[in-house]
Amino acid sequence: MFDSVPPERPPHPPRLTGLRGVLRTLRNFGLVGVGAPTAGDYDSFTANDGQAVPVCVLGDGPPVVLVHGVGCSHRDWMPVARRLARRHCVLAWDARGHGSCRPVHGSITLARLAEDLAEMLDHFGLERPVLVGHSMGALTLMQYLHSHGTQRVAAVTLVDQSPRIVTDDSWRLGLFGGCSAAMLSGLIAGARQDFAETLLNEVGALGGAWLRRQLGAEASLGRMLRRRLRRVDLRPLLDLAESMAQADFRASLSRLDAPLLVVLGARSPHYAGLPLDAWYRDTVKHAQISIYPRAGHSPHVSEPLRFVRELERFIIDHA
């Protein structure tokens, strides 16, 4: 059994993201330059609406599918994927609106991503893969399991994600322990009104006084970035944010009959100090819980060796 002792809440939780994280997120959303996909083990499939979805494929053996979080891409899984590929066929996509997958059709929703996942399993002929999802990717897996069941799934791993991200008087285990639907709707509405200004103000605040001046409305860099950002159609990503805000998978997870591993970061800026581990343990009686005392929202990124070791042991024991 993995370490499941609830850690103490860190006295000063880390920021939601730093300047480097913001820039990486911009790249993964396609708002700044995105390098060409790595040559070689890179494939794609075409969804039923014509959207081409790129997939990095590594290794050979029993399949493991890695689904990234919001503002991420397949690259965030690479330290894990390369190690898993010694024993498994590993597939990691760029979800719509992320990395190299520029959306060409309408809205992006969790339901659409779950359908993409089902079509990816069909395209690659995957028989009972292990599904691993981080953050938004975990919600994508929850949506897939809700819509399609577990017939084609050997096991599931959810990384640092609540089954419902908004909170109310009866549910305090969403974002930050206190992000209401009204608060999240207000943030999304503000981004729909002027995403460029909101984003550049945030980046400037993270980067300090010098960068804040460079990103000002009168500075040449600030004017150029505002022009570029205002040409980007962000509606699909904001639709995705609304879809995640509306999602609630508590009931469907209570009926989950596939092996489940839940990985949580004790210093997660999203969920630190919240008893998510206890909820999963009480709701999915067979779930295994692994808490990373030093990790934030992405334990697989900060501690890939431990993550791979525990995931492989979980697969051996249950899949």
What does the pLDDT read at residue 104?
Answer: 81
What does the pLDDT read at residue 27?
Answer: 52
Q: Is the pLDDT of residue 35 over 80?
A: no
What domains does the chain contain, in order, with CATH numbers?
34-164+247-318 (3.40.50.1820), 181-235 (no CATH)
Q: Is the pLDDT of residue 10 over 70?
A: no
Instruction: Report which of residues 161 and 106 the model is more confident about.
Output: 161
Q: Is the pLDDT of residue 18 over 60?
A: no
pLDDT tier for residue 22 given thresholds of 50, 70 and 90: very low
pTM of the model: 0.83
What does the pLDDT read at residue 256?
Answer: 98
As a three-state string, the secondary structure of the chain is CCCCCCCCCCCCCCCCCCHHHHHHHHHHCCCCCCCCCCCCCEEEEECCCCCEEEEEEECCCCEEEEECCCCCCHHHHHHHHHHHCCCCEEEEECCCCECCECCCCCCCCHHHHHHHHHHHHHHCCCCCCEEEEECHHHHHHHHHHHHHCCCCCCEEEEECCCCCCCEECCECCCHHHCCEHHHHHHHHHHHHHHHHHHHHHHHHHHHCHHHHHHCCCCCHHHHHHHHHHHHCCCHHHHHHHHHHHHCCCHHHHHCCCCCEEEEEECCCCCCCCCCHHHHHHHHCCCCEEEEECCCCCCHHHHCHHHHHHHHHHHHHHHC
147-156 pLDDT per residue, tens: 999 999 999 9
191-204 pLDDT per residue, tens: 888 877 777 776 67
Q: Is the pLDDT of residue 30 over 60?
A: no
Choice among 109-118, 124-133, 230-239 with the minimum mean pLDDT = 230-239
